[in-house]
A and B are shown apart, each in its own frame.
Chain A
Amino acid sequence: MAIDLRTVSITPLRQTFGHLARRMGADKPASRYIEATMDLQPVENYHYRPTWEPQYDIFDTTRTAITMKDWYALKDPRQYYYGTWTLARGRMQEVAEGDFDLVDELGLAAAYPPAGKADALEVFLPLRHVAWASNLNKAYVSSYGYGIAISQAACYASMDQLGVAQYVTRLGIAFDDLDALANAKSAWLEGAEWQELRRYVEDLMVEKDWFEVLVAQDFALEGLLYPLIYERYNEKLNAAYSPVFSMLTRFQREWFGETSKWLDAVLKAAGADNPDNKEQLATWMRKWRDRAVVALKPVAALAFGGEAEAVMAELVQNLNARAAKAGVAL
C-alpha cells in the first residue's frame, strides 16, 4: 500500500528504551552502539545449568577473578557494533585488495631480492598459525565473557584474527607459493625458534579465566608481537629492500593500532573499578609479559639478529607504559 505522507513533526512519547534511559540517567536518544550493546545479555532466571560445566550459570560473573560493579563499563571507544565494525573492515579489506593487486600487477614480489625474501618469509609465515591461535583464544573470551560489551568486541577481534591468518597466507602465496607455507608450518610445529611461542598460545587454550586469556593474548603477546614484526621488522625490510612486505601487512598494522585503543580502555575500566582488579591485572600482566618475552626472543633473533635484545627491551618499555596509562604500574 503506497500512502503519501507529508513531512510533519510529531512529538515522540519517549526518546529511548527504558533500560538505556536508566543507564544514561535521562530519557534521551541513545547511539546505535548503546542500543546494540547495553544490558542485553540475560542475567537471571536461567532455566538450566550447563551440562558441560554445571558449576556455573549460563552467563556467570565468577568465570573470572575480575569483578565489576558494571560489566558494561568495559565498553568500546571505537563504538563497534556489527554494522560499524563490518564497515570499517570492509574499507580495510578494499585497501588490502588494492595492495595485493598492485604487487601482483607490477611483479613486486618476483622482483624482491631473493636473500631478503627468504629471511622475511621465515619470519612472517609461521605467524598465520599464531593468528589462528589468537582467533581461538579470543573466541573463548567472547564465549564466556560477561556482558555484550566485552563479548561482541572479542567476537569481532576473533574474526579479525581469522582475517589476519588469511592475509598472511595470501602473503605467502603471493611470494613463494605453497612450499613456503608448508615449510612455515613445519617450522611452527618443530622449529626451535617457534616452540616457546607455540607453547604460550597452547597454554592459553586451556586457561579458564577469560579475562586472564584476554590479558595474556591481547595485551602481553600481541602488545609485543605486533610492534616487533609488523612495525619494527617491516621498517627494517623497507630500509634494506622495498616496502612490499609493509604493503601486504598494512591490515595487521592498522588493526593493531586501532584494537589497542579498545583493549587499553577495557583494561583501564577494569582496573578503575576496584583495587583488587588492579592488583590482579598487574599480576597477570607481569606473568604473561615475562613469558611473552621468552616466547618472542627467538623470533626476534630471527628477525633482528644481534639487535634483538635491544629491540625487545624497548618494546617491553612501551608495553609497561601502556599498562601505566591504563592505570596499572608494572
Chain B
Amino acid sequence: MDMKVAKKLGLKERYSLMTRDLAWDTTYQPMDKVFPQTTYEGIKIHDWDKWEDPFRLTMDAYWKYQSEKERKLYAILDGFNQNNGHLSVTDARYINVLKLFLGSTPPLELMAARGFSMMGRQMNGAGPRVACQMQAVDEYRHFQTQIHSISNYNKYYNGMDEFAHQQSRMWYLSDGKSFFDDAITAGPFEFMVAIGFAFEYVLTNILFVPFISGAAYNGDMAAMTVGFSAQSDEARHMTLGLECIKFMLEQDPDNLPIVQRWIDKWTWRGTRKLASVGMMMDYMLPKRIMSFKEAWEMYVEENGGALFKDLARYGITIPKCFSQTIEEKEHVSHQSWIGFYMKPQATPFHTWIPTPDEMDWLSEKYPNTFDKYYRPVLEFFDAQEKAGNRFDNKTAPMNCQVCVSTMKFNEPGDPMEMCFRESIYNGEKFHTCSDHCKEIFDNEPEKYSQTFISSHQVLQGNCEPDGVDVNAPDFEPGRHMLDYWKLDKRALGDFNGSEDQKNFAAWREQATKN
C-alpha cells in the first residue's frame, strides 16, 4: 500500500483535510438560506478559503490536552476544599473579590459559550466555524470550572448563594449583561469584533490576569488554578479574534470603516467594564499585585498600542477612546469603589474604608489624584462611620443608556464635574455617561433605546418578587428590592462587623492554634 503521500502531509494540509475538506456547498438548499446571517451587516467576504486557521487542533488532540488539564484541575480543587483551603487566604476581605467575580464572570462566560455556538453555526466558512465551535465548548469549561471552584466558598461565606438569580436582576451586574446581550444580538461579524477581538484580545489580560495573580498573591489556590488553566485556552481565543479582524480587512476595502467603528465601540464598552477590575485591584485585594493604573499602562497602553500599530497596515487606527481611557486610569477605580461604598444595602459583597497603610499605598500609586480628590472623601466617610453614621445612599442611581454604568465618571479634564450626555430619540430623552457612549447611542438609537435600565424598570413595577401586586393601591415600587434580588441580609453592609469577618477569624484561629 502506498502511504507516502498521506504521511508527507504537512500540518496545514492535514488539518484542512480534517476540517474544510469535509465541507461542501449545499445544493438541495441554497447556501444563503443555510447561512442567512453573514451578509446583512455589510461586511463583504469574497473567498472564505482565504481564512487562515489560527490554530490547528483536531478533536482527538483537543480531548487529549483538555482531559489532562481537567484531571489536574479537579484534583487541586478537591485537595483545596478538603483541607479548608479557604482559611489560607490573606484575610476575609479577599473573599469579596470572589463574590464580585462569581456574580460578574461565569454568567458572561456562559453568554460567550452560547454566542460562539451561534458563530459556530452561522459562519459560512468551514475554518472559522470550527474555530468558533471550539471556543464555544471552551467557554462552557470556563463558567463551569469557575462555579466549581467557588462552590466551596459559598458554603462558608455569605453573598455568593444567589449569583444565578442575581445575574439578570442586580443593578450593578447590568453593565456586563448589557455588554454580552449587545454583542450576541448584533450580527456575527460584529460579535467577533466585540467578543473575539475587543474582549478576548485587547482586554482579556487586564480582565483576567489581575484576578489570577490576585488569587495567587492572596493564597487562593483554587481560583488561581482555575484561572491559569483557562488562560491556556485564551491563547487560542486571542488568535481567533485577531485572525477574524485581519480576514475581514483583507477581504474587501469597504470593510474597513465598519470594522473601525466596531473596534472603537467595543474597546470603549469593554473599558467601561474595567472600572470594577480597577477597584478590585486597588481596594479589595488585601495583598496588592500592582495598581490598576500600572496594569492599564502595561496591558492596554503598551500591549494594546503595539497591537494597533500592527494593524495600521490595514488602515486601522487606534480606538478613539484611547486618550480618554488614559486620562481615566487615575480615577475610575476610586470612583467605582466609593460608588459601591455608598450603597452598603444594595450589593451582596462588603465594602470598607482602606487602612491607613493602604491609603498611603494609594497615594504613592496615584500621586496626581488620590490625595487631591479621593483621600478626603474616604477619610470623611471613615470619621462618619466611627461616629456611628456609616454612609448609606438609598437613592436610585442614574444609568448610562449604553454601558449601563451608574453615572459616576467625571467630565474629561475636570475631575470634580460629573459627565452627562443627552440624546433625543422618538421624542424621548436618553442619558449617556460620555461622548463615546453618546456616539454609540446615536449610531443605533433603535437598539439602545431598548436597554433594560433597572432603576427605570423598578419605577414601572417590573422588578418585583413573585406575589407582589403592582396594581394594588398601596403599591410602592422598589420596596421589595432585597427580595427581588434575593439579597441575604448577612451579605450586606460594611465588612467591619460582618458575619464573614467574625467567622473567618474564629475558624482561622481554630485551624492555626496548637
Which A residues fall within an 8 A CB radius of B?
1, 3-8, 10, 12-19, 32, 35-36, 39-52, 58-59, 81-83, 86-87, 89-94, 96-97, 107, 109-110, 128-129, 131-132, 135-136, 139-140, 142-144, 148, 151-152, 155-156, 158-160, 162-163, 165-167, 169, 173, 175-178, 181, 185, 188-189, 198-199, 202-203, 205-206
Report which of B6, B137, B147 forms a contact with A173, defined as CB distance below 8 A.
B6
Which of chain A's residues have a CB closer than 8 A to the CB of B181? 46-48, 58
Q: Within 8 Å of chain A (Cβ to Cβ): is B186? A: yes
Q: Within 8 Å of chain A (Cβ to Cβ): is B396? A: no
- For B344-388 the 0/1 string (1 means CB < 8 A from A) is 000000000000000000000000000000000000000000000
Q: Which of B134-172 contact A (CB under 8 A)?
A: 134, 136-137, 140-141, 143-145, 147-148, 151, 154-158, 160-165, 167-169
Report which of A45, A83, A140 forms a contact with B145, defined as CB distance below 8 A.
A83
Report which of B22, B71, B117 forms a contact with A165, defined as CB distance below 8 A.
B22
Which B residues fall within an 8 A CB radius of A?
1-3, 5-6, 17-18, 21-24, 26-29, 33-34, 36-37, 40, 58-60, 62-64, 66-68, 70-71, 73-74, 83-85, 87-88, 90, 106-107, 110-111, 113-114, 117-118, 120-122, 129-130, 133-134, 136-137, 140-141, 143-145, 147-148, 151, 154-158, 160-165, 167-169, 177-178, 181-182, 184-188, 218-219, 287, 404, 447-448, 450-452, 454, 457, 486, 503, 507, 510-512, 514
CA distance in complex: A67, B3 (Å): 53
Which of chain A's residues have a CB closer than 8 A to the CB of B3? 177
CB distance B17 to A82 under 8 Å?
no
CB distance B156 to A90 under 8 Å?
no
**Secondary structure class of chain A's binding surface, majority of residues:** helix
CB distance B37 to A52 under 8 Å?
yes
A-B contact pairs, 9 of them (CB 8 A): A3-B88, A17-B164, A32-B144, A46-B181, A47-B177, A82-B141, A177-B2, A189-B24, A206-B33
Given the known interface contacts A32-B148, A176-B1, A177-B6, the answer about A151 and B63 at a Cβ–Cβ threshold of 8 Å is no
- Kindly provide the distance from the CB of A105 to the nearest chain B CB, expressed in whole angstroms: 13
Given the known interface contacts A48-B185, A128-B22, the answer about A89 and B67 at a Cβ–Cβ threshold of 8 Å is yes
CA distance in complex: A225, B110 (Å): 33
- Kindly provide the distance from the CB of B130 to the nearest chain A CB, expressed in whole angstroms: 7
CB distance A163 to B63 under 8 Å?
yes
CB distance B67 to A87 under 8 Å?
yes
CB distance A17 to B59 under 8 Å?
no
Given the known interface contacts A6-B512, A202-B27, the answer about A86 and B63 at a Cβ–Cβ threshold of 8 Å is yes
Report which of B74, B83, B145 forms a contact with A5, defined as CB distance below 8 A.
B83
Quick one: closest A residue to B85, CB to CB? A5
Report which of B2, B188, B510 forms a contact with A10, defined as CB distance below 8 A.
B510
Given the known interface contacts A136-B121, A169-B17, A178-B6, the answer about A143 and B161 at a Cβ–Cβ threshold of 8 Å is no
Which of chain B's residues have a CB closer than 8 A to the CB of A110? 1
CA distance in complex: A129, B26 (Å): 12
CB distance B452 to A1 under 8 Å?
no
CB distance A156 to B450 under 8 Å?
no
CB distance B155 to A155 under 8 Å?
no
CB distance B137 to A155 under 8 Å?
yes
CB distance A52 to B64 under 8 Å?
no
Report which of A159, A177, A205 forms a contact with B5, defined as CB distance below 8 A.
A177
Given the known interface contacts A17-B164, A189-B24, the answer about A87 and B184 at a Cβ–Cβ threshold of 8 Å is no
CB distance A42 to B177 under 8 Å?
yes
Looking at A40, A129, A163, the one whose CB has the most chain B CB atoms below 10 A away is A40
- Kindly provide the distance from the CB of A91 to the nearest chain B CB, expressed in whole angstroms: 8
- Kindly provide the distance from the CB of B79 to the nearest chain A CB, expressed in whole angstroms: 12
CA distance in complex: A140, B60 (Å): 23
Quick one: closest B residue to A88, CB to CB? B67
- Kindly provide the distance from the CB of A175 to the nearest chain B CB, expressed in whole angstroms: 8
CA distance in complex: A36, B70 (Å): 14
CB distance A19 to B162 under 8 Å?
yes
**Secondary structure class of chain B's binding surface, majority of residues:** helix
Quick one: closest B residue to A196, CB to CB? B28
- Kindly provide the distance from the CB of A112 to the nearest chain B CB, expressed in whole angstroms: 9
CB distance B22 to A7 under 8 Å?
no
Looking at A47, A156, A178, A205, the one whose CB has the most chain B CB atoms below 10 A away is A47
CA distance in complex: A231, B304 (Å): 54
Report which of B28, B63, B154, B186 forms a contact with A14, defined as CB distance below 8 A.
B154
CB distance B24 to A8 under 8 Å?
no
CB distance B144 to A82 under 8 Å?
yes
- Kindly provide the distance from the CB of A308 to the nearest chain B CB, expressed in whole angstroms: 23
CA distance in complex: A188, B178 (Å): 44
Given the known interface contacts A48-B185, A159-B137, the answer about A13 and B18 at a Cβ–Cβ threshold of 8 Å is no
CB distance B137 to A181 under 8 Å?
no
Closest 5 A-B residue pairs measured CB to CB?
A90-B67, A163-B59, A12-B155, A110-B1, A132-B22
Given the known interface contacts A177-B2, A185-B21, the answer about A13 and B114 at a Cβ–Cβ threshold of 8 Å is no
Question: A90-B67, A136-B121, A206-B33 given. 8 additional CB < 8 A pairs?
Answer: A6-B514, A19-B162, A83-B145, A86-B141, A93-B59, A132-B23, A139-B120, A159-B134
- Kindly provide the distance from the CB of B92 to the nearest chain A CB, expressed in whole angstroms: 13
Which of chain A's residues have a CB closer than 8 A to the CB of B121? 136, 139-140, 142-143
CB distance A7 to B83 under 8 Å?
yes
Which of chain B's residues have a CB closer than 8 A to the CB of A46? 181, 452
Which of chain B's residues have a CB closer than 8 A to the CB of A45? 168-169, 177, 452, 454, 457
CA distance in complex: A50, B26 (Å): 26
- Kindly provide the distance from the CB of B157 to the nearest chain A CB, expressed in whole angstroms: 7
CB distance B182 to A4 under 8 Å?
no
- Kindly provide the distance from the CB of B137 to the nearest chain A CB, expressed in whole angstroms: 5
CB distance A50 to B184 under 8 Å?
yes
CA distance in complex: A132, B19 (Å): 9
Report which of B29, B59, B510 forms a contact with A159, defined as CB distance below 8 A.
B59
Which of chain B's residues have a CB closer than 8 A to the CB of A203? 28-29
Quick one: closest B residue to A109, CB to CB? B1
CB distance B133 to A162 under 8 Å?
yes
CA distance in complex: A3, B90 (Å): 9
CA distance in complex: A307, B58 (Å): 37
CB distance A87 to B1 under 8 Å?
no
CA distance in complex: A13, B90 (Å): 21
CA distance in complex: A35, B177 (Å): 21
CB distance B18 to A169 under 8 Å?
yes
Given the known interface contacts A52-B187, A158-B133, the answer about A166 and B143 at a Cβ–Cβ threshold of 8 Å is no
- Kindly provide the distance from the CB of B297 to the nearest chain A CB, expressed in whole angstroms: 27
CB distance A19 to B165 under 8 Å?
yes
CA distance in complex: A8, B28 (Å): 67
Quick one: closest A residue to B84, CB to CB? A5
Which of chain B's residues have a CB closer than 8 A to the CB of A156? 137
Which of chain B's residues have a CB closer than 8 A to the CB of A47? 177-178, 181-182, 185, 404, 450-452
- Kindly provide the distance from the CB of A298 to the nearest chain B CB, expressed in whole angstroms: 15
Which of chain A's residues have a CB closer than 8 A to the CB of B29? 202-203, 205-206
CA distance in complex: A13, B506 (Å): 14
- Kindly provide the distance from the CB of B48 to the nearest chain A CB, expressed in whole angstroms: 15
Quick one: closest B residue to A81, CB to CB? B144
CB distance B67 to A10 under 8 Å?
no
Given the known interface contacts A3-B512, A169-B18, A189-B24, the answer about A87 and B70 at a Cβ–Cβ threshold of 8 Å is yes
